[in-house]
Amino acid sequence: MIRRYFALASGLLALTLVVCAVAVAAAPTQLTFTVWSYSNDVVQDNIQKFQARNPGITVALSDFDWGKFTDVMTARFVGKTSTDVSYSSDHWLQQWAAANWIVPLDDYFPQVAAYKPDFAPYAIEGMTYNGKLYGLPYYADTEIFIYNEDLLKRAGFSTPPVTWDDVTKMAVAMKQKKIVEYPLMFQFQDITPDYIEIFLSMVYSHKNPSMFDKTLTPTYDSESSAAHKVARWLVDGFRTTKIINPASLETTEIPLVKAMGAGQVAFAVLPKYNLADLNTPGAHAQAGKFKMALMPGETHGTVGYVRFYAMTKMAADRGKEVRDASWKFLDYFGGKTGGEFTVVKRWALEKGLGFAQLPLYKDPQVRAAINKWGNVTLEEQQAKLARAKEALTPFWGSWSLEFQKEMNKALLGQETPLQALQASAAKWKEMKK
């Protein structure tokens, strides 16, 4: 009798333990994912699909204003609010990595190295700090030269400009023929982060584009530098030939795109996704007339930038389960599922975002989709000539704002282009200390 009860009791105990073990194993790992607010519904859908494939993981999404993203994330990291995976960008990677807010993926997931051959070199460079890789690309793109084909033809030209002298010549012709008063406009507002990228794109299209030497000392403040050539060209276009719209000093990316879409701008340097926007019939009066050309200049080089998924130090410290879940997340969103970069391809097809995952250029669906609003052959060519921004440091953001302010003083005629470059170089040396 007692033996039977004992057997029953041990059986029940064993059953209970098994059930508990299963329950514990099935308790989902919760990841917090922070993004800037762009197509949240697509992001949520991707999350649902990820969760369906990984029943043990749930992802909570938090989204913030793109313009204030780093500000809010700073508060979040300072306050140690639980964050596991986050969007990040090449131009603030240095600050986040040095502050120990995000961690190198190489250290925790050696398997990430397998992806490197697939990524564009400028993207790898943009995600690397101290020799280690910090993320997988969300999207990557290049600054391209966009022109209004209709305005070009009306001025009597059949092919887009190939050098910056061509640009001047064509712009002057447009101005003289009264086709458009200011053929060029730039997003040169004092504090917009795009300004420096546009300037660098123009510098990189020249020979000997380096602005810093190996010890990260500025070399661009000399008379013969490519930066000086670009600065002189800009000041010339602003003040002498008047082919550059003086309103550039108040303009950021969106107003520039709106003005161009309305037919007020013939030539602009913009991130490539804007080409998809400009050719959207409902949004712009001149939709359909916009084309891309290789960046004018001797080398046709330009800036390539990357936005990526990063894992936080907080996630790394939360234990093996969270780390594994984070890797599954990163792999799903920035890597391959079923042999294909599914999420990245979806962004390319649905929103026209650029990508650093090069195999996608072989995908016929992607090629066809891009060709509807752009030119995939040219795009591939431009991507090969794109360089990551050089000399990124934790104080690069601060320096770039000073650079922009000084350049604007030159555009307003308050100082010469060389003085502007020298002033910002001096600031760099001060900040480097």
Residues 268 to 307: which contact another protein by CB under 8 A? 273-274, 276-277, 279-285, 287
| Least distance (Å) between residue 35 CB and another protein | 10
DSSP lists the bridge partners of residue 128 as 133
C-alpha 93/C-alpha 305 separation (Å) is 12
Q: Which residues contact 401 (CB under 8 A, 6 or more apart)?
A: 190, 191
Give residues 21-50 in contact with another protein (rule: CB under 8 A).
34, 37-42
Of 272 and 300, nearer to another protein (C-beta) is: 272
Closer Cβ to another protein, 28 or 67, answer by number: 67
Interacting residue with another protein among 162, 172, 316, 349 (CB under 8 A): 349
Give the shortest CB-300-to-another protein separation in angstroms. 25
Which C-beta is closer to another protein: that of 249 or that of 391?
Answer: 249
H and E: helices and strands count for the chain: 19, 10
Stretch that binds another protein, among 127-135, 319-327, 345-353, 355-363 (CB under 8 A): 345-353
- Binding to another protein (CB under 8 A) within 411-430 occurs at 411-412, 414
Gap between the Cα atoms of 72 and 309, Å rounded: 17
The answer to whether the beta carbons of residues 205 and 385 sit under 8 Å apart is no
Q: Report if residue 375 touches another protein, rule: CB under 8 A.
A: no
Min dist CB 177 to another protein, Å, is: 17
Residues of span 178-197 touching another protein by CB under 8 A: 181, 185, 189-192
| 107 in contact with another protein (CB under 8 A) | no
Write the DSSP string, 175-225.
HHTTS-S--B-----TT-THHHHHHHHHHHTSSS---B-TT--B-TTSTTS
| Contact pick of 51, 56, 58, 61 for another protein (by CB under 8 A) | 61
Identify the residue among 132, 177, 372, 432 touching another protein (CB under 8 A): 372
Whether 399 contacts 427, CB under 8 Å:
yes
The residue among 287 and 385 lying less far from another protein, judged by its C-beta, is 287
Are β-strands 302-311 and 386-387 bridged in parallel, bridged antiparallel, or unpaired?
parallel
CA neighbor of 70 nearest in space, from 190, 188, 186, 193: 193
Binding flags for another protein, 234-263, as an x/- string (CB under 8 A): -----------xxxxxx-xxxx-xxx-xx-
Tell me which residue of 284, 297, 291 sits closest to 270, measured CA to CA: 291
274 and 142 Cβ atoms separated by less than 8 Å: no
Q: Counting contacts by CB under 8 A, is residue 394 touching another protein? A: yes
Contacts to another protein from residues 139-178, by CB under 8 A:
none
* Contact flag: residue 367 with another protein (CB under 8 A): no
